Amino acid sequence: MNPDPSMNPNRQAQAALLFLLGATVLHAGLTDLHLRYVKAGLRPLLLLCGAVLVVTAAATVWYEWRGARGRHDDGPGPDGGREHREPRVSWLLALPVLALILVAPPALGSYSATHTGTALQKPFGFPDLPAGGGTLRLGVGEYAARAVYDDGRGLRDRPVEITGFVALDPSGTPYLVRMSLNCCAADGQPVKIALTGEVPPVLRPDAWLEVTGTYSPRRTKDPVNDGPVPWFEVTSAKPVPAPNDPYDEVWTG
């Protein structure tokens, strides 16, 4: 964007901010970056919003350029002077947007999990699990819901594999956690599973683990809101990379 020097600098700053913000939203929507902030299903809306902001920035530059040409063709005002120019300090308004582009905040992690109570709720129902004796691959939310509200039926005596990140409560109890979203990261809430058994001796908060083990009938209470937290008997655990989409949708059965 290279607007005419005679344009109002305040309008230039407005157009630049709109363009930078629109470009940032488009960049987030075209990459996995948006998954840190909103549900995957909102990607089309992000792309639409980014496009509208960029088009609005271009329209602002165009109309201001046309107005500047008109003022130039009409000559200087009655006093023969040039029109008042806004202070260039207004361009500093672009710094927060540039910071968002260059330094993307991380996804919600163990700090949020240990300072927010579990969001586990009773689902509408429990679909049948796959038949057979193979390993069940469940999300944190589904395991927790089946363990607490279905008394572990279908989970007993079957190996279960779950992936989540590590959080430690004030007493040192290790949790496996996934943050659940209704809409975006602003309403993110954790669902937690307490780990026992063959838990690695050294656990780093926010590290992602894939744990294999079995259902445990034990229960504990979340120290934040006294919500139910089931236990999981770990037989093996291994570190895994953080997934592209670190959030889960609220599991409702």
Residue-by-residue DSSP string for 62-85: HHHHHHHHHHHHT-S-TT--PPP-
For residue 89, is pLDDT > 80? Answer: no
For residue 42, is pLDDT > 60? Answer: yes
What pLDDT, on the 0 to 100 scale, is given for residue 101?
63
What pLDDT, on the 0 to 100 scale, is given for residue 70?
62
For residue 47, the one-letter residue type is L
**C-alpha to C-alpha distance for 76 and 137, rounded to whole angstroms:** 75
**C-alpha to C-alpha distance for 151 and 125, rounded to whole angstroms:** 13
Which CATH class, in words, describes the domain spanning 110-249? Answer: mainly beta
Tokens 């026992």 locate to 196
Give span(s): CATH 2.40.50, the chain: 110-249
Confidence of residue 59 (pLDDT cuts 50, 70, 90): confident
DSSP string, 7-51: S-HHHHHHHHHHHHHHHHHHHHHHSGGGGGTB-GGGHHHHHHHHH
Confidence of residue 180 (pLDDT cuts 50, 70, 90): confident
pLDDT tens per residue across span 114-167: 999 999 989 988 998 988 778 999 999 999 999 999 999 989 889 999 999 999
The structure tokens listed for 46 are: 């992000």
Give the residue from 187, 151, 175, 156 showing the smallest Cα distance to 229: 175
pTM for the model stands at 0.69
For residue 223, is pLDDT > 70? Answer: yes
Interval 2-25 mean pLDDT:
67
